[in-house]
Amino acid sequence: MAIRRWEPFSDLMSLREAMDRLFEESFVRPTRIMPSVEYARIVPVDMYQTPNEIVVKASLPGIKPEDVDISVIGDTLTIKGQTKSTEEVKEENFIRRELRYGAFEREMTLPASVQAEKAEASFENGVLTLKIPKAEEAKPKQIKVRATG
């Protein structure tokens, strides 16, 4: 029997890796084990800005435009609505249930002050596109440099 030198840090690293893997699987990818109610109601969005406006694109498949409410209060944008099931199926007859039904809401802080009253919203192929003009004080200003002398 060979004598092996004990290295305490090698055991700690494997424990740390196991804990990292546990937290990653539990919190980063919640759909692997069981989708949580909050995760199911998240509306995925893309938000970007141009010099004159903020553009928000939200994925809302299967939702009618009249079932979506959009509001801007201060620097907070809120998108909310509700999806409804179209057919009645008894719970015990389901084999797999992944489509989400019910209320959803997403709040985001806007990166600049905006003119909410001039916002435009369009809805195409399940994607809501919201264009919100920036307020004049939020738009970039060009400063000319004059030569003296």
Do residue 74 and residue 114 come from a single domain?
yes
pTM of the model: 0.62
CATH of the domain at 128: 2.60.40.790
**How high does pLDDT run on average in the chain?**
79
Same domain for 75 and 124? Answer: yes
What H or E segment, with its residue span, contains residue 121?
A: strand 120-124
Quick check: is 92 in a domain? Answer: no
The answer to whether residues 36 and 105 belong to one domain is no
Q: Can you count the helices (H) and strands (E) in the chain? A: 2, 7
27 assigned to some structural domain: yes
Distances (CA, A) of 104 to 61, 80, 109: 13, 6, 17
Proportion of the chain in helix, strand, coil states, percent, rounded to 5: 25, 30, 45
Tens of pLDDT along 90-141?
Answer: 777 777 767 777 888 899 999 988 999 999 999 999 899 999 999 887 677 7
Mark whether 55 and 118 lie in a shared domain.
Answer: yes
Report pLDDT digits (tens) over 66-100. Answer: 889 999 998 899 999 888 776 777 777 777 767 77
36 and 46 belong to one structural domain: no
What lies within 8 Å, CB to CB, of 135 at 6+ separation is: 112, 113, 114, 115
Could you give the number of structural domains in the chain? 2
Q: What's the confidence (pLDDT) of residue 40? A: 45
> Does 67 lie in the same domain as 17?
no
